[in-house]
């Protein structure tokens, strides 16, 4: 049994549009960079695409009923920017959630940039930040009477690194360090949107505690550089109004926009990272964490990393740190319905979160990634993160043991 979380602590699950919706040409949706990338040979495992995914666009009532059965307080989903000309689907989704007593928490950008904007330079072009703010204002006008809390961007570091530096995600650019302007334009987009959205605004960052591979000075220096790129590049500007390194393209006034007050910071945590010095094009490389169990994806399972991360954020940002929500945590498993490793993973991470809360971190909620098995980007459908399994040939949903475990924990919590 999990320790008791305080009254008002939000428990939810997370998904994202391209990973679950399918229906990529329905009702006026424009092509996105992920349509282009996934349809280009060699970019995804087995050539998998999000064309159908979980067909959530058509099956959303059934999926929202699963949320009710699970007993979550809130649902984090993302709005597809390529659907901006017709937001009816999200109108229905939000109404469907509210009718079921579940709080909607939409993310405005989970990596599905309209291809037309990529053709004009994508996130290397400052104009994309302004276009994002217009899109955000449009969504705010349509849903702001019912949605009171928003996440602007999901994991800008992953989008910059995998999408623009290494080319392993859409749009598949391989600019290495020349991808840095993407960070600034994403953060500017966040700030501009935060000034236009009605209600409370958050940014979701993927964060990882970084440990040097050895006591060597060179490994320590490499770990500090990696921490700068992965964590501080996206945390410092929103909380301190500064960058931890030289970032091109910053104009007068930009940092004030980026530091527009946020209601909370969203943190996606999966694992810590161990770093050694390297001589390649980058001065660091990742090395395995010895002795740690790994998930089906090969990611190390280190729940204490979440405690270290949360208490470290409190130490680093002190008064500047807003309340925190864990907006993603979970693991891929290949056990099918009997997903004991996922139960163990979630149990241990919820306990670590609780410990951080007890030690003074202002943690307000915890969202599990993910409700459903879904399109895991360049890994296609092989990695399964769902509390609910999906048979992608038939679209049949099957509740895993982890679903029942979380449902029982939440029932116990409500009955107390």
Report the interface residues with ligand IFM, using CB under 6 A. 16, 19, 155, 268, 328, 369, 376, 385
Q: How far apart are CA 256 and CA 252, in angstroms?
A: 9
Reply yes or no on whether 328 is catalytic. yes
Please state, in angstroms and rounded to a whole number, the distance separating the CA atoms of residues 325 and 75: 13
DSSP per position, 359-413: TT--EEEEEEE-SB----GGGTTSS---SEEEETTTTEEEE-HHHHHHHHHHHHH
Q: What is the spatial distance between Cα 353 and Cα 368, in angstroms, rounded to a whole number? A: 13
Nearest distance from C-beta of residue 205 to ligand IFM, angstroms: 11
End-to-end Cα, the chain, rounded Å: 13
Catalytic residue among 118, 162, 328, 376: 328
Range list of β-strands (E), 324-371: 324-328, 363-369
Residue 110 or 354 having the CB closest to ligand IFM: 110
Q: Toward ligand IFM, which CB reaches closer, 19 or 341?
A: 19
| Marked catalytic residue, from 21, 118, 155, 409 | 155
Instruction: Closer to ligand IFM by CB, 128 or 204: give it.
Output: 204
What tokens appear for 334 in the block? 């290949």
46: DSSP letter:
G
Q: How far is the CB of 16 from ligand IFM (least distance, A)?
A: 5
- For 205, the enclosing helix (H) or strand (E) is strand 200-206
Q: How far is the CB of 127 from ligand IFM (least distance, A)?
A: 26
Tell me how far, at minimum, the Cβ of 139 lies from ligand IFM, in Å: 19
> In terms of CB distance, is 255 or 350 closer to ligand IFM?
350
H helical segments located in 39-171: 56-70, 88-99, 115-118, 127-143, 156-158
Find the largest Cα–Cα distance for the chain.
57
Integer Cα distance of 70 and 73 in angstroms? 9
- Minimum separation from the CB atom of position 268 to ligand IFM (A): 5
Q: Which residue, 277 or 390, is less far from ligand IFM as judged by CB? A: 390
- Which of 81, 385 has the CB closer to ligand IFM? 385
**Is 200 a residue of the active site?**
no
DSSP-based three-state secondary structure for 104: strand
| In the complex, minimum distance from the CB of residue 390 to ligand IFM, in angstroms, rounded to a whole number | 14
DSSP annotation of 148:
-
Cα 157 from Cα 36, distance rounded (Å): 21
The catalytic residues are 155, 328
């Amino acid at each position: 049994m999990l320790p008791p979380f305080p009254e008002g602590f939000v428990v939810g699950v997370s998904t994202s549009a391209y990973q679950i919706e399918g229906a990529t040409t329905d009702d006026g949706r424009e092509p996105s960079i992920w349509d282009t990338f996934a349809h280009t040979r060699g970019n995804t495992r087995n050539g998998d695409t999000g064309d159908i995914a979980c067909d959530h666009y058509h099956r959303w009532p059934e999926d929202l009923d699963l949320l009710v059965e699970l007993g979550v307080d809130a649902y984090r989903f993302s709005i597809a920017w390529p659907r901006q000309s017709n937001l009816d689907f999200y109108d229905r989704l939000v109404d469907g959630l509210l009718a079921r007593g579940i709080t909607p928490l939409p993310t405005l950008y989970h990596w599905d940039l309209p291809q037309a904007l990529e053709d004009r330079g994508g996130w290397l072009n400052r104009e994309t930040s302004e276009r994002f703010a217009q899109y955000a204002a449009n969504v705010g006008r349509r849903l702001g009477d019912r949605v009171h809390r928003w996440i602007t961007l999901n994991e800008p570091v992953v989008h910059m690194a995998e999408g623009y530096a290494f080319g392993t995600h859409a749009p598949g650019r391989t600019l290495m360090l020349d991808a840095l302007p993407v960070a600034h334009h994403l953060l500017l987009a966040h700030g501009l949107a935060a000034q236009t959205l009605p209600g409370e605004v958050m940014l979701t960052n993927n964060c990882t505690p970084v440990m040097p591979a050895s006591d060597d000075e060179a490994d320590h220096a490499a770990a500090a550089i990696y921490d700068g790129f992965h964590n501080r590049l996206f945390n410092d500007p929103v909380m301190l109004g500064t960058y931890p390194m030289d970032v091109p393209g910053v104009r007068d006034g930009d940092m004030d926009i980026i530091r527009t007050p946020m209601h909370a910071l969203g943190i996606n945590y999966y694992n810590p990272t161990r770093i050694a010095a390297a001589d390649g094009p980058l001065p660091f490389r990742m090395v395995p964490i010895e002795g740690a169990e790994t998930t089906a994806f090969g990611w190390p399972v280190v729940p204490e990393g979440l405690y270290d991360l949360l208490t470290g954020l409190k130490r680093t940002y002190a008064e500047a740190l807003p309340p925190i929500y864990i907006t993603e945590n979970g693991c891929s498993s290949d056990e099918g319905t009997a997903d004991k490793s996922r139960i163990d993973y979630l149990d241990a991470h919820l306990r670590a979160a609780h410990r951080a809360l007890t030690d003074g971190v202002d943690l307000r909620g915890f969202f599990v990634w993910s409700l459903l098995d879904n399109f895991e980007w360049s890994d296609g459908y092989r990695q399964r993160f769902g509390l609910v399994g999906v048979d992608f040939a038939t679209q049949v949903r099957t509740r895993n043991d982890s679903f029942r475990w979380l449902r029982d924990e939440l029932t116990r919590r409500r009955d107390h």
